[in-house]
Amino acid sequence: MRMRPTLSWTPTGDLPPGTTDPEPVAGALRAGGVLVLSGAGLSTESGIPDYRGKDGSLSRHTPMTYQAFTAGAQARRRYWARSHLGWRTFGSARPNAGHRAVAAFARHGLLSGVITQNVDGLHQAAGSESVVELHGSLDRVVCLSCGALSSRRDLARRLEEANAGFEPVAAGLNPDGDADLTDEQVGDFRVVPCSNCGGVLKPDVVFFGEAVPPRRVEHCRELVDAATSLLVLGSSLTVMSGLRFVRQAARAGKPVLIVNRDPTRGDQHAVTRVSLPLGTALTALADRLDVPVDGEATDASEPVQLGQYPVGPVLPREVGGE
């Protein structure tokens, strides 16, 4: 069974207010065993937009759903044209201060693990290890027929060869790496098939309307069980894929702490929500805990290329949903 896409959530008036005091988060980190659950808000300072919030991309863009992608060739042509163009920018994004702070907390033994809803690979680029990519990663491509995994950089090369001269100017970039293009700009963009069997290729990410593989969900549940507390960073928790872990932690009596400027769907389960920019809040926390945070994770002359960095446990992909 595939989930119906959940694109928006409206806060209610009875949610607890946010605070600018990060001390409860600092206390949880001092105690150790903190499991991080990160969302798109953590990557906005790297130039990758959020879906929601005041300037979120959902105000102008409806993301591709699994149902639309699998329904017809025209939808896939539109997706791959936009995604191919967006990859050029998305693939050069750099980790920001928030990503580097999370990596520093892990190096100092304060974290039990990291689960990310993001598909950008920036946690790994900042130095975090054993990151569970809940929604997959844009640097991998999967064939819907034979299940073969391949490199996004290899696909980008093939698409470049098949679409020489494709250089439209996009109106913007979305959190899933999808650039804003009109149908006229998409034109007759050529989509290439799986080089193994000729099947349909899809980025190895969980689209809206598609379920997270059950074994990956179970692995994340085990991480929640093993953690002392759950720290949510930059997620509105609108979709159940992340919210379920907040509810699980709260039911088990584990403190849930959230750092997000706007209210979230999980606020009622949290002991605190720190309403500060992620980079500012996490850098301040590192200073308070005397945890040194590395500078730029890569040579400033070289853009980060997604796929260069080791990915945490990539559990076997399962076709179908929960």
Catalytic site includes residue 269: no
Give CA separation, 85 vs 110, 157, 166, 186, 287, in Å.
Answer: 39, 12, 9, 10, 39
Annotated catalytic residue: which of 61, 123, 135, 269? 135
Catalytic residue list: 135
